[in-house]
Amino acid sequence: MIGEVTPASQRAACLGINASLGTLAGLIAPALMGHFVGNAGGVAEGFRHGFTVLGCVLVPSGLLGVWLMHPERSVRRLQRLSPASASDTPMNVAAAPSRGEEAA
């Protein structure tokens, strides 16, 4: 998704930011689950609380993300912001021949 809406000149930075945020979540999640398990009356109860909180955060976040994603609108907005590099987005080069095909 990020690669489709970001100009090629900014694509690496945006993909790097996305990867770092995903890695950060992977660092925080075990500590947070350990907090729930350690402060509960039992291990099973701690995991139940942890997964309940996780579900209560992930379901609304996922629905919000699906509701807010509009790749075409993002491409148009990015084209207005950087007209020089707007022509290098994948959605604009869909008609270009692939590597195996020759240009007519």
Q: Tokens at residue 6, please?
A: 């970001």
Between 70 and 104, the more confident residue is: 70
For residues 56 and 69, what is the distance between their CA atoms, to the nearest angstrom? 21
Residue 67 lies in a domain: yes
Q: What is the pLDDT of residues 13-27, one digit of tens each?
A: 989 998 998 899 889
CB 69 within 8 A of CB 1: yes
Number of domain units in the chain: 1
Q: What is the pLDDT of residues 43-100, one digit of tens each?
A: 999 999 999 999 999 999 999 988 888 878 877 877 787 655 545 555 554 444 455 5
Q: Domain residues for 65?
A: 2-78
Residue 61 lies in a domain: yes
Residue 91 lies in a domain: no
Q: Report pLDDT for 45.
A: 94
